[in-house]
């Protein structure tokens, strides 16, 4: 009897850990994206950018893969390290290794920035800030 209850306990623990470690995938769509665009003379102007779509694979509390579904980087996933910066259990901030593309998630919403453009330099001529809503895939 003790052996049987021990085996049942182990099986229950396996199911509990497998559901905790299961990957979650989110489908995210920009509500808006705006920022600045630089021309060939180095002059900036405000710009509306196309709204993008992303899949976000949540590997763990500290690890996500963000994949753009449209444009020049469509289908290429980038790994982000994440943390919970505040006491708000729904807030998660993520950053790639460069520090130039931060994301902030709160409940089912997100905000991101692309900061690699001028005047800070980089190969892309734009600075973009976008926000949107995620749903489970």
5 domain residue, yes or no: no
In this structure, are residues 124 and 114 in contact, taking their beta carbons and an 8 Å threshold? Answer: yes
Residue 19, pLDDT score: 39
Domain membership of residue 7 (yes or no) is no
Whether 15 is in a domain gets the answer no
Q: What is the pLDDT of residue 31?
A: 98
Question: Would residue 14 count as lying in a domain?
Answer: no
Task: State which residues form the domain around 59.
Answer: 23-136
Q: Which residue has the tokens 């196309």?
A: 50
Per-residue pLDDT, 22: 62
pTM summary value: 0.78
Q: Considering the domain boundaries, does residue 4 fall inside one?
A: no
Please give the chain's pLDDT, 137 residues, in tens.
444 444 434 444 343 333 344 689 999 999 999 999 998 888 999 999 999 999 999 999 899 999 999 888 889 999 999 999 877 788 999 999 888 999 999 999 999 999 988 877 777 889 999 999 999 98
The verdict on residue 60 lying in a domain is yes
State how far the alpha carbon of 74 is from the alpha carbons of 52, 71, 92, 105, 110, in Å.
10, 5, 24, 21, 19
Domain count of the chain?
1
93 within some domain: yes
């Amino acid at each position: 009897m003790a052996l049987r209850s021990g085996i049942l306990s182990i099986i229950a623990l396996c199911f509990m850990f497998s559901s905790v470690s299961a990957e979650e995938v989110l489908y995210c769509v920009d509500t808006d994206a705006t920022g600045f665009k630089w021309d060939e003379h180095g002059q900036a102007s405000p710009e509306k950018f196309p709204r993008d779509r992303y899949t976000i694979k949540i590997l763990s509390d500290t690890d996500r893969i963000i994949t753009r579904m449209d444009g020049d980087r469509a289908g290429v996933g980038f790994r982000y390290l994440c943390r919970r910066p505040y006491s708000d259990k729904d807030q998660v901030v993520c950053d790639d290794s460069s520090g130039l593309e931060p994301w902030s998630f709160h409940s089912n919403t997100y905000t991101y920035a692309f900061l690699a453009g001028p005047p800070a330099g980089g190969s892309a001529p734009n600075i973009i800030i976008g926000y949107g809503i995620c749903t489970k895939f």
